[in-house]
Structure 1
Amino acid sequence: MVRANEEVETLLQEYADLVAIAGGDAFKARAYEKAARAIGGYPADVSKLDAKGLRDIPNVGKSIADKVLEYLRSGHVSAVEETRASIPAGVRELLTIPTLGPKKAMVLHEELGVSSVDQLLDAIHEERLRDLKGFGEKTEENILHGIELMQKAGGGGRILIGAAMDAAEQIVSELSRVTGCEGCTYAGSLRRMRETIGDIDILVAADRSAPFMEALVGLPYTAEVIAQGEKKTSVRTTKGLQVDLRVLPPDSWGAGLQYFTGSKAHNIRTREIAVHHKLKLSEYGLFHAGSGKKITSETEEEIYARLGLPWIPPPLREDRGEIAAGLRDELPELLAESDIRGDLHTHTDLTDGLAPLEDMVAAAAARGYSYYAVTDHAPNLSMQRMTDEKMLAQRERVRELDRKHHGMRLLHGTELNIGPEGEVDWPDEFLAGFDICVASVHSHFNQSRQALTRRLVRACENPHVAVIGHPTTRLIGKRPGIDADFDAVFEACARTGTALEINAHPERLDLCDEEILRAKRYGVKFAVNSDAHSTTHLPYMRYGVGTAQRGWLTKDDVINTWPLTRLRRFLSSRP
C-alpha cells in the first residue's frame, strides 16, 4: 500500500500550498515543499523513525520533524488543520485544480472574490481574469484544461500505475499465502501496464473461494466491503482503491487470466476468431460451439495457440494491430526490463536530488547495471544554483568512483534546459566534456505551437544533445503536454540521430505509448530512463519499460540496452 513517506509528503506539500495561499512567509512555504520532497524520496520508512532520525533527513528541522511525529501518532497535525480552517473551503478546492498554483488561487480570491470552481468558471466565461496581472487568454485555457483533468480524475477514480502496482502486489503477496492457493496475480489494465488504473483486478486459482474472500475482507487496509460472493468480492481500501477479487477453478486459470486481462476490444477480436473456428471463448475456457465440450483452458498459451495465434504479451492487447501481426507471425520481441543495461537520466543532491552521488551509484550498481549516468541540472534552471566549478568537481568525483566500480562504468552527464529559442546551457567547448547530455523543456510551456516546435527541433540539431528528456513535459492528471508539432520533432530526431526519452516516473511516462508508436514510424531511437531523484526512484524503470512495451519497442530500439561500446559510438557520432 502507500508508504508512510508518501502520506507525509502529501500532507507537507498541502501545508506548503496553504501557507502560500494564506499569504504566509514564502520561505516557510518553500521549506515545507523541500521537506515534502525529501521525505517522499527517503529510502527508510519514516513511520519507524524517532525525532532524531527524522532530523537526519535533508531539509527536515525540528519543527517539521515534530509535525511529522504528530501526524504519525494521531493522524492529523493541528497547525495544518488550523491553516485549513483559516482559508475558505472553496479556495482550498481551487488548489486541487491542476495548472492552478497557490499564488494564482490567492489572487483570484483576493481580487475577484472567487472561492469555488463554479465561481471560477463563471469568471472565465465572463472574461474577468484577463484584467488581472499575470493572467490572460492562455491562462484561461490552461485553467479550463486543469478543471477538466480534475473532473475526469474525480469521476473516473483512476490512479497512477505506481500506486496501483504497490497495492496490487501487496494484496497478491497476502493472498498467495492462503492455504489452497494454486495461483494469484493481478489482471486488467494493470497487467497491460496502462498509465492509469481504475479498479484493481486480482485473480486466484483455487478449488475453494471462501478462504480468499474472507482473507481480502479481513486485510487491515480494507475499509469497506462493496460486495461479497462466492465468485467475486469487491472492497475499497483505506486509500479509496476498489479491488475486485475473482477465484477461478485451477483448470480455468488460463482462460480466466486471458479474459480478465482484456482489453475489451482485444477480447472481442479473440472471440470473433473463436466463432470463425466454430468455437466459443469465455472466462472458463475454449469450447466447441456445438457440443459444448471444453477444448482447453489451463494456460493462456494454449488458448491463443488453439486460435492460431502466438501468446500475445499483455501490453499489446489493445486492438492496435496485435491480432493481425500475430496471425502473420510478426509480433515484435518486446523490450524486457532485464534488457536494460543502464540508466541515462538521474540526479543527486548536488541539484534537486535527495541522495548523494555515492548512494545513487551504489543503488544503481545493486541493480546490476553495466553503466550508469549522473545528469544533474545545468545552470539555466536557476533554482538549482549550478556552477561550472560544481559540475567539474562532480566530474572528478565521478571519475574516481568509476575507477572503483569495475563492474559498472559511470558516465558524467547533465540535464540541460531547452531555452525559449532552443538554446541550451553552456557553450560548445564546455558541453564537449560531458559523456552524455539530456536536454529538456522546463519552462515557457505556453509558447505558440510554432515556437515550441522550433525550440525542440533546434535542441535536436545541437550536436551535443543526445537525448530529449520528457519530451511533452506532461504530468499525468496535473499538467497537459506542450502544444508542439511532434511529427516535426520526430522527423528531426530521426534526421539528427537524437534519442527520445521514455521517462519512467509514474507521474510522467513521457513519451506515452501512442506517441512512441508514432515516433517509431520515423525510425527514432529511444532511451528508457528513471529520472531518479532518490535511490527509491531507480525501480521506476519497470514503468518506463511497460510503456515502451505498449509502444511495441524491441531492445534494438532502446539505446540503453546496447553494450557500452555501441552506446558510446551513438553518443559520439552525432552530426
Structure 2
Amino acid sequence: MRVNDEVGALLDEYADLLAITGGEAFKVRVYQKAARSVAGDPADLVGLDDAGLRGIPNVGRSIAAKIEEYLTTGSIHELEELRARIPVGVRQLTLIPTLGPKKAMVLYHERGIDSVEALARALDTGSLHGLAGFGAKTEENLRHGIEILHKAGRRVPLGTAMELAETIVADLSAVAGCESCAFAGSLRRMRDTVGDIDVLATSDRPAALMKAFVELPLVEQVIAAGDTKTSIRTGSGLQVDLRVVPPEDWGAALQYFTGSRAHNIRTREIAVHAGLKLSEYGLFDVETGAKIVSAAEDEVYARLGLPWIPPPLREDSGEIEAALRGELPDLVTEADVRGDLHTHTDLSDGLASLPDMVAAAAVRGYSYYAVTDHAPGLAMQRMTDEKTLAQREQVRALDGRCGGMRVLHGTELNIDPDGGVDWPGGFLAGFDVCVASVHSHFDQPSELMTRRLVRACENPYVDVLGHPTARQIGRRPPVEADWDEVFAACARTGTVLEIDSSPDRLDLPAEHIRRARRHGVRFAVDTDAHAVPHLAHLRYGIGTAQRGWLAPGEIVNTWPADELIAFLRAHR
C-alpha cells in the first residue's frame, strides 16, 4: 500500500472518530476532504517537505503537521487519544451501512450496545423499542445493514488485494533463487472482492523464499510455516498463502489454484474421462502414474483437449462448453481502450485541475478523453450553468493540444426519482457526452426504480447510464430493478451501459453484463476518476468486462475517435 493511502486511511479514521465524539461537522468534513486529497495525490508524501504537504488540496498547517508526525514516528498522537476514548466495538458499528457515528454513540450510551453482535441481539429482542430515532424503518435498515456487513465478512475490494499481492510478488521475485512468482485464486480471476490471496512460486531455495515471506513488513501474524506452504495474516486481517512448487509443476499448480472450485471440478472430470488425473501436482496417466505435463498452464489445458481459458472466465459459467466448441470470446484488454468517458475535476468533487487530468490522460496514450463533472442536481457540488460553460471554453482550448488527443466536454447528470435529469434538452445539446447516474433515493421499490432508469434511457441526450446498480461494495447494496427491462430499454434507445472501474463499485457487475449482452447492449469501461491516480483503475473495470465475456467491439471507448464521436452525435 502506498504511504499516501495509509495516511489517507488514518485521516479518514480521524474524521470518523471526531464525528463519533461530537466534533464540529465542518472539522469532520475538512479531514474527510484531506483524506481524499492525500490518497489521490500523485506525489509520494515521503518526498515532500512542509510546504509540499500544504500544497496538497485541503491540507492545512494542522493536518500537514499530523502527516509529518506519522512519517517521522509511525503514529499520530491525537488519533491515538481518540482511539482510546472510544470502544472498538462502537467504531465497528459505524461500518454498518446507514448507521452514522452519532446514532452509534446513542446506542452505546442509551443501551450499552458496543458491538455489531450486541446490536443484532438488541434488534432480535426488541431492546431498541422506544429509543428516539430508532423506529421500525430504522430497525429494518439496520438489519439489512448488518446483513450486508456479514456478507462482506473479511473480504476486501479487488483494488486493495491487487496492490497488496503485487507488492508481495515483487518482493519475493527479488529473492535469490526465485524463478517464478505470481498470484492466483479469485484475485487472478478478477473477482470484485477477495477473501484471501494465493501466491505461487518456484525456487531452488524454498527455505530462503519462506524466510523472506514471513519477514515482509506487512506480516502481522504467521499462521503456519512449512517447507512448501506458509500462511500469514496482514495488519488488515487478510490471509496470504505462499506455496512453493517445483518448476515442472508450475503450470498445473497455477491452473489448480486459479480456477474456481466449480471450474476445477469440470476440468478434473474431463481428465477422468480421458484416463488422466489432474491435481495441483500435475497431470498424470491413471494406469501408469506417469506425469504427462504440468510445467505450463496452456499445456495442461491442451492435453485436456481445451484451449487456454482466460482466468476471469474460470467460473463454470459456460466457458468449458464454449472452449469445446471453439467459441471462447476474444476478450477486451486494457490496451484496446482508446479513451475514458467518465471523469471528474476539482470543479466538482475531483481533486485535480482540468489541465492536470487532461495531461495525465494524454500520458496514457488516449485518443480522446471526456471530463464529466457533476450537474446542479447534486446540490453539494454547487454547480451552475456559468461554471459549466466556463469549463467548456477551457475544454475547447485544450482539445487537440496534448498529443492530438480529443478532449470532450461532458457532464454526469443526476437521475431524479421520477427519471428526469438536471438540465433541459436545449442546454444538454451543448455537451459532447452525457452520463446519467442514480445518486439518491436508492431504496425505491423495483417497479419505480425500473421506470426511473428506463425514462432516463429514453432521454435522447443521455448517452451513458453511469454505475447502473449504484452499488458500493460492502457499503451499499445494488438498487432493485427489473434489469432485463432496463437492458432492453438501453438496447432500444442506444444508451450505453457503463462499467465503472472504481474498485468500490465495479458496476455493472459481471453477472449483469452477461445478461445485458443478450439484449445487444453496448458498453463503456470508464474510471469515474476523481484524481490522477484513479485513471489507473481502468484495469479493474477491464477485469470486470472480461468476467462479463466482453470483446473490444462491444465497448464504445475502444472505437476510434471519429467513430465514437459520430455515434454520440447520432444518438441525439
TM-score band, normalised by the shorter chain?
Answer: over 0.9
The residue number in structure 2 matching 1:97 is 96
Once the two structures are superposed, the pairs formed by residues 166-185 of structure 1 within 5 Å of their partners are 166-185=163-182
Query: 2:80 corresponds to which residue?
Result: 81
Q: Distance in 2 between matches of 1:486 and 1:133?
A: 38
Report the counterpart of residue 351 of structure 2 in structure 1: 354
Q: For residues 238 and 127 of structure 1, do their structure 2 counterparts lie closer, same or farther at Cα, with a shift above 3 Å needed?
A: closer
Maintained 8 Å contact 2:359/2:402: no
- In the TM superposition, 1:192-271 aligns within 5 A as 192-271=189-268
Q: Which amino acid aligns with 2:90?
A: V
Give the number of aligned pairs: 572
Separation in structure 2 between the aligned mates of residue 89 and residue 295 of structure 1, nearest angstrom: 54
C-alpha contact (below 8 Å) 2:498/2:507 kept by paired residues? yes
Q: How many Å apart are 1:74 and its aligned residue?
A: 2.8
Q: What corresponds to 1:164 in structure 2?
A: 161
Name 1:37's counterpart in structure 2. 36
**Aligned mates of 1:521, 1:233 — CA distance in 2:** 44
Between the aligned partners of 1:563 and 1:390, the Cα distance in structure 2 is 30
Q: Distance in 2 between matches of 1:91 and 1:238?
A: 20
* One of 393, 398, 407 as aligned partner of 2:395: 398
Matched, 1:50 2:49: yes
Deviates more, 1:231-240 or 1:262-271: 231-240
How big is the shift at 1:508?
Answer: 0.6
Secondary structure of 2:242's match?
A: strand
1:110: Cα distance to partner?
6.1
| Cα deviation, residue 283, structure 1 | 1.8
CA distance, structure 2, for counterparts of residue 142 and residue 74 of structure 1: 41
Partner of 2:471: 474
Out of 99-108 and 413-422, give the one that drifted further.
Answer: 99-108
User: Which of 452, 456, 459 is the matching residue for 2:456?
Assistant: 459
What do the CA deviations read for 1:378-424 (whole angstroms, capped 9, x no partner)? 11111111111111111111111113124311111000001111111
Q: Which amino acid aligns with 1:311?
A: W
How far 1:549 sits from its partner (Å)?
Answer: 0.4
Give the drift of 1:84. 3.6
Moved more, 110-119 or 10-19: 110-119
1:492 match: 489
Deviation for aligned residue 1:196: 1.2
What is the alpha-carbon distance in structure 2 between the residues aligned to residue 400 and residue 313 of structure 1? 43
Describe how 1:176-575 pairs up with structure 2 within 5 A: 176-574=173-571
Cα separation, 1, equivalents of 2:218 and 2:85: 32
Compute the displacement of 1:231 (Å).
1.4
Letter in 2 for 1:514: E
The alignment partner of 1:233 has SS state of strand
**What whole-Å deviation, never above 9, does each CA across 1:516-554 have from its counterpart, x for those lacking one?**
111111111111111100001001000000011001111
The one-letter amino acid of 1:474's match is R
Amino acid across the alignment from 1:172: V
Question: How many angstroms does 1:239 deviate by?
Answer: 3.7
Residues 409/270 of structure 1: CA separation in 2 closer, same or farther (3 Å cut): same
Give, in angstroms, the shift of residue 142 of structure 1.
2.7
CA contact (8 A) 1:138 1:446 kept: no
**Residue 239 and residue 49 in structure 1: after superposition, are their counterparts in 2 closer, same or farther (change >3 A)?**
farther
Tell me the alpha carbon deviations over residues 126-147 of structure 1, each in whole angstroms, 9 at most, x when there is no partner.
Answer: 6676867765544333322221
Q: Specify whether residues 136 and 339 from structure 1 end up closer, same or farther in structure 2 by C-alpha distance, changes over 3 A only.
A: farther
| Aligned pairs (5 A) from 1:102-113 | 102-109=101-108
Task: Please state how far the C-alpha of 1:427 moved relative to its aligned partner.
Answer: 1.0
Q: Matches of 2:524 and 2:101 in 1, distance apart?
A: 35
Work out the CA distance in 2 between the residues paired with 1:85 and 1:228: 34
Secondary structure of 2:178's aligned partner: coil
- Of 62-71 and 306-315, deviating more is 62-71
Distance 1:381 1:148, change over 3 A: same
Q: Could you list the per-position Cα deviations for residues 275-331 of structure 1 after superposition, in whole angstroms to 9, with x for gaps in the alignment?
A: 111111122222211011222112111111111111100000001110011001111
Determine the C-alpha separation between the residues in 2 that align with 1:106 and 1:10: 22
2:342 and 2:279 mapped to 1: Cα distance? 44
- The Cα offsets for residues 151-186 of structure 1, whole Å up to 9 and x where unpaired, read as 3444xx221111111111112112222233332211
Instruction: Name the SS of the counterpart of 1:182 in structure 2.
Output: strand
Residue 443 of structure 1 and its aligned partner are, at CA, apart by 1.0
CA distance in 1, matches of 2:112, 2:238: 35
Letter in 2 for 1:561: T
Q: TM-score, normalised by structure 2?
A: 0.95
Letter paired with 1:189: S
In structure 2, stretches of 5+ residues that fail to align are none
Q: Which amino acid aligns with 1:55?
A: R
Look up the SS of the partner of 2:400 in the other structure.
Answer: helix
Q: Write the distance in 2 (CA, Å) between the matches of 1:352 and 1:178.
A: 43
Question: What is the CA–CA distance in structure 2 between the aligned matches of 1:513 and 1:42, rounded to whole Å?
Answer: 30
Per the alignment, do residues 131 and 48 of structure 1 end up closer, same or farther by CA in structure 2, a change over 3 Å counting? farther
Aligned residue type for 2:425: D
Mapped partners of 1:20, 1:544: distance in 2:
33
Alpha-carbon distance between aligned partners in 2 of 1:149 and 1:312, rounded to the nearest angstrom: 32
Residues 86-126 of structure 1 show CA distances to partners (whole Å, capped at 9, x for unaligned) of 44554333212233222443454566665443443345346
Structure 1 regions of 5+ residues with no counterpart?
Answer: none
CA 1:234/1:355 → structure 2, altered by over 3 Å: closer, same or farther?
same
Distance 1:239 1:102, change over 3 A: closer
Cα deviation 1:52-76 (Å, max 9, x = unaligned):
2211111111111122222333333
Mean CA deviation greater in 378-387 or 21-30: 21-30
Q: C-alpha distance in 1, partners of 2:17/2:167?
A: 33
Alignment partner, residue 19 of structure 1: 18
Return the letter of the residue paired with 2:14: Y
Is the CA contact 2:329–2:549 (under 8 Å) kept in the aligned structure 1?
Answer: yes
Q: How high is the TM-score relative to the length of structure 1?
A: 0.95
- Once the two structures are overlaid, the 10-residue window that deviates more, 134-143 or 377-386, is 134-143
Q: By how many angstroms is 1:200 displaced?
A: 1.2
Name the CA distance, whole Å, in 1 between partners of 2:115 and 2:167.
Answer: 38
For residues 454-477 of structure 1, the C-alpha deviation after alignment (integer angstroms, 9 at most, x for no partner) is 111111111011111111111111
Shift in Å, 1:81? 3.1
Cα distance in 2 for partners of 1:150, 1:548 equals: 26
SS of aligned partner of 2:479: coil
- Counterpart code for 2:261: K
* In structure 1, C-alpha distance between the alignment counterparts of 2:136 and 2:429, rounded to whole Å: 42
Q: 287-296 or 545-554: which moved more? A: 287-296
- C-alpha deviation, 1:28, in angstroms: 0.9
- Tell whether the 8 Å contact from 2:95 to 2:149 is kept in structure 1 after alignment: yes
Q: What does residue 148 of structure 2 align with? A: 149
The corresponding residue for 1:68 is 67
Q: Deviations over 1:346-389 (max 9, x none)?
A: 00111110111111111111111111110001111111111111
Mapped partners of 2:342, 2:129: distance in 1: 39
